[in-house]
Chains A and B, each alone.
Chain A
């Protein structure tokens, strides 16, 4: 299914009834929003909070939108804008008020809130790579996660982040370059 196939019935449902439409919006985009949230903040429980808060803000915004605005809505980049802003704000306020004693909360540690089958499914490699995302700048991490984890096209990322496509591309290529440096060929010489 392409993004257009997913988008049309959701926008139609939102025009019909906000709450029913919201469930369609949530079902259509929860996986992509949660994946992006998880790889942005790095912790399962925080990703749940971030996803729930992003969808709640989306609902509150939609409640104030004119039907015309809903009809032209591009839900995926729009949700990603909300998520990116939320993540940037929480990351900043966390930097101002660091949580106490993060000894057992290193980003690569297994999150106790993450279901065990999920943990087992993820390879050691995946966990290491996920942790390395924390080494990128905010802009690089957002661009890399939206492009390669959430699988958004460049144009949508540019819309979501409010920057030109060229800027998105350069964040992605710098981000990938840094990841290759940090993660030298353990399994493959090109990595």
Chain B
């Protein structure tokens, strides 16, 4: 088997069995090795329009909207310093995730992120479609309650927005805060997911950040699917979690407003 052509057959000593044996140790590179080095890009339709996606052999590494092909390729290269080639075929889970906002089952390549950034993004990834959590909630969940501002920075550095739904993280005062693709895109995404954005804002203006039901004794974030089912007769608003707890309420197991206790 010759993996490549000998440049110098005379000098390679074809009559020396040792030299011949060494030459026979040449082998072809396995197929697919290029994908270990280079990423592939593809354009996919998402709920907010067309997005460019870069994929490695590990999963989706980068997603951007509002750029043309050239800008996308340039921004990928300057961030990852890897070759990016056209012609990836998007996994079906990706197309579904971008259409529906449910990203379970999409493999992500988060190499190259600092551990703090990765922890922030993994916490954000757990927020279900149609709900929101404050930046401070993420900070508490990852055991860095004082790093609220750094959480915002890490979310702004999210390589895969939409797939890791950083748009579902908002300010504690009810304002939606910044977003990689701009505040307007954030609001549009949240409204498409039918988040009760106006209600959350109205409540925040009245200093209500948690809501409870006196039938279940459970306290939630106002956007939690359980909170939205509370009938007006049993609905109670709270400014802080401590107030709710001293009134005998326990934290919801879905939206986990008492996130300080890391599982």
Contacts and interface: CB of A to CB of B under 8 A. Distances in A.
Main SS of chain B's interface residues?
A: loop
Contacts of B25: 35, 38-39, 126, 129-130, 149
Interface string B101-143: 0000000000000000000000000000000000000000000
Contact of A35 (B21, B27, B33, B82): B27
B21 A129 contact: yes
Nearest to A25: B83
Interface residues of A, number: 48
A144 B22 CA distance: 9
A66 interface: no
B1 interface: yes
A176 B19 CA distance: 8
A151 B12 CA distance: 8
Contact of A149 (B23, B34, B37): B23
Nearest to A22: B83
Contacts of B182: none
Contacts of A153: 7-8
B84 A151 contact: no
A22 B38 contact: yes
B23 A51 contact: no
A31 B6 CA distance: 12
Contacts of A52: 33, 36-37
Interface of B: 1, 3-8, 12, 16-19, 21-30, 33-34, 36-38, 73, 77, 81-85
Interface of A: 1-3, 18-19, 22-23, 26, 30-35, 38-39, 48, 51-52, 55-56, 59-60, 63, 115, 118, 121, 123, 125-126, 129-130, 144-145, 148-153, 176, 179-180, 183, 187-188, 190-191
